[in-house]
Amino acid sequence: MATSRQILRLAFQALYQLDIHGGDRDRAVAAWVAEADDFNEKERDEALALATSAYDDRASADATLKTLAPTWPAERQPAVDRAILRLGHYELTRARTDKPKVLINNAVELAKEYSTEKSPAFVNGVLDRIMKSVSST
């Protein structure tokens, strides 16, 4: 049984691929996720649904990011950070996770593992601001 962090990692990897290839590889990404070891079918489906939903919601995420980090809009961010932030934005605003702090922690861990030295703090700050804006509505 995969943990929520492992499912988020798989979703992040799929979203990164969708973003890099402009969504043109939907079937290839789905096939890649379907072959992911250490996940059962339900977990793979959850990760793929999360990735595709976050990809479809990218315009909303990018608009929010532009407001919260005007000097670092989505087009200036490293692709890894952009995927992590889009995924976190989707979960915080659309999926309405019941454990937002856990989600943010998992996103920060992804940034530590896959991105630059400064990325974890950036990801944490932006997602924290999104969480606070969602909880105040």
**For residues 53 and 94, is the Cβ–Cβ distance under 8 A?**
yes
Torsion of CA 61, 20, 117, 119, to 10 degrees: 0
pTM for the structure as a whole: 0.91
Q: List the domain range (segments joined by +) for residue 71.
A: 4-135
- CATH code of residue 37: 1.10.940.10
Q: How many domains does the chain have?
A: 1
Res 66: pLDDT: 92
Rounded to whole angstroms, the Cα distance separating 72 from 76 reads 6
**Using one digit for the tens of pLDDT, what is the confidence trace for 21-41?**
876 677 888 888 999 989 999
Buried b (16+ CB within 10 A) or exposed e, 10-49: bbbbbbbbbbeeeeeeeeebbebbeebeebeeebbebbbe
Reported as a pLDDT band with limits 50, 70 and 90, residue 137 is low
pLDDT digits (tens, 9 = 90+) for 97-129: 778 999 999 999 999 999 999 999 999 999 999
CA dihedral 97, 98, 103, 105 (to 10 degrees): 160
74-92 per-position pLDDT tens digit: 888 889 999 999 999 999 9
